């Protein structure tokens, strides 16, 4: 298993399939994009499947989330999903995406064995979407969400980040829309993972702000810690249920003590935390011919050194060198 010195056990693996993205969200990267990883530096499809196999067969991983960048840009995505679905034991599989390519790929992903999707959508207004993402693709995301729901990739979860001066007042409208379309909405506090290092804590929209806004229109009933488990989102029943809304308060209400995640970057590095500045190289071990047992040993050792928390409440916190697009959400 992947246990650390604080007794936490990682069973949830986040796999970044690419650092590339077809949006330029202001809270993630500059308008001109980033210096993408060279193709030889990326893990191959075979390498990704081998590492996931080691994780589920030897290290106790039970859930795999494919992320990016934008994972739908990975040419071999459907094949990777199909091969991971054939592993024993079979992990639960999900995908975090911006939704732009879902209308075309949702049926194939479902047929390959994907269980569900998380789609990022921060606004219901096309003009605000264009300002936030620097791309005019709002309609594509809405169509992708519908395609995912129709394909059975459920529950379809929608992730929204609220930004001051842009969409900070949209929380009630987003929730009403999500309830109408049978999506599960989750608000995520803006995190310090932008490439341009422009994040400022004193200007962010907090979980408290979001809940205050939602309660102007909805009755929210806490779901409770027993239901939450190690999930990052605190959830509330909306007007008595059955619909729920979640808030991931990574900054103001850290949940590090219950973290059960391990992360694999697109170039084969283990990250113990989204905000970690250290990485452990598995790609070199793979390509030098190391057996599965040695790779598992390196992975265990990396996770054993996981820190107690992300340190966002520490005044000396230093933002990670890699932006969110290169780490995976």
CA–CA distance, 233 with 141 (Å, rounded to integer): 23
What is the bridge-based pairing of β-strands 9-10 and 92-97? unpaired
Around 221, how many Cα atoms within 13 Å sit in the side-chain half-sphere? 8
Query: Has residue 203 got a pLDDT over 70?
Result: no
> What is the per-residue pLDDT for 255?
81
Average pLDDT (194-220) is: 79
> What is the per-residue pLDDT for 196?
46
Binding positions for GTP are 14, 65, 96, 157, 261-263
> Measuring CA to CA, how many Å separate 272 from each of 4, 61, 95, 218, 306?
10, 14, 20, 37, 6
Binding positions are 14, 21, 25, 27-28, 65, 69, 96, 120, 157, 191, 256, 259, 261-263, 273
> What is the per-residue pLDDT for 158?
98
pLDDT in tens, 248-280: 988 888 788 889 999 999 999 999 988 788 899
DSSP letters of 54-66?
A: HHHHHS---EEEE
**Residue 320 — pLDDT band, cuts 50, 70, 90?**
low
Mean model confidence pLDDT for the chain: 89
Phi, then psi, of 262 in degrees rounded to 5: -130, 145
Binding positions for S-adenosyl-L-methionine are 27, 69, 120, 191
Higher pLDDT, 217 or 201: 217
Binding positions for [4Fe-4S] cluster are 21, 25, 28, 256, 259, 273
Among 201, 159, 155, smallest CA distance to 182 is for 155
Report which secondary-structure segment, H or E, holds 211: helix 207-214
Task: Region of 271 please: left (phi>0), alpha (psi -120 to 50) or beta.
Answer: beta
> What is the per-residue pLDDT for 141?
97
C-alpha angle 222-259-293 in degrees, rounded to nearest 5: 150
In terms of average pLDDT, the best of 127-136, 223-232, 295-304 is 295-304
pLDDT in tens, 50-81: 999 999 999 999 999 999 999 999 999 999 99
Among 107, 106, 104, 82, smallest CA distance to 93 is for 82
Query: Has residue 230 got a pLDDT over 70?
Result: no
> What is the per-residue pLDDT for 199?
44
pLDDT in tens, 29-57: 766 666 788 999 999 999 999 999 999 99
Higher pLDDT, 105 or 203: 105
Sequence-ordered strand ranges (E) for the chain: 2-3, 9-10, 12-16, 63-67, 92-97, 116-120, 157-160, 184-188, 220-222, 234-238, 244-248, 261-264, 269-271, 280-281
User: Could you give the percent of the chain with pLDDT greater than 70?
Assistant: 86
pLDDT in tens, 158-171: 999 998 889 999 99
């Amino acid at each position: 298993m992947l246990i650390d010195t604080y007794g936490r056990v990682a069973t949830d693996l986040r796999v970044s399939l690419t650092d590339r993205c077809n949006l330029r969200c202001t809270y993630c990267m500059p308008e001109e994009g980033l210096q993408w990883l060279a193709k030889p530096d990326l893990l191959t499809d075979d390498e990704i499947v081998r590492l996931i196999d080691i994780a589920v067969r030897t290290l106790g991983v039970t859930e795999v989330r494919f992320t990016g960048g934008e994972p739908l840009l990975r040419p071999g995505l459907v094949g990777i999903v199909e091969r991971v679905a054939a592993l024993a034991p079979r992990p639960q599989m999900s995908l975090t995406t911006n939704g732009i390519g879902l209308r075309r790929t949702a049926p194939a992903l479902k047929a390959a064995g994907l269980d569900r999707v998380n789609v990022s959508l921060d606004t219901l207004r096309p003009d605000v979407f264009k300002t936030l993402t620097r791309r005019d693709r709002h309609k594509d995301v809405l169509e992708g969400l519908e395609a995912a729901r129709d394909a059975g990739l459920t529950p379809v979860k929608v992730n929204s980040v609220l930004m001051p001066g842009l969409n900070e007042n949209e929380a009630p409208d987003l929730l009403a829309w999500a309830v109408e379309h049978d999506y599960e909405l989750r608000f995520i506090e803006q995190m310090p993972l932008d490439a341009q290092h422009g994040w400022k804590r004193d200007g962010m929209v907090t979980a408290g702000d979001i809940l205050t806004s939602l309660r102007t229109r909805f009755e929210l009933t806490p779901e409770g810690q027993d239901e939450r488990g190690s999930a990052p989102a605190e959830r509330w029943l909306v007007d008595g249920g059955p619909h729920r809304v979640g808030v991931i308060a990574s900054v103001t209400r850290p949940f590090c003590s219950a973290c059960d995640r391990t992360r694999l970057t697109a170039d084969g590095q283990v990250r113990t935390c989204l905000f970690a500045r250290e990485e452990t190289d598995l790609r070199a071990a793979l390509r030098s011919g190391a057996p599965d047992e040695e790779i598992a040993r390196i992975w265990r050792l990396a996770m054993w050194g996981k820190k107690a928390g992300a340190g966002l409440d520490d005044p000396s916190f230093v933002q990670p060198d890699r932006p969110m697009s290169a780490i995976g959400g």
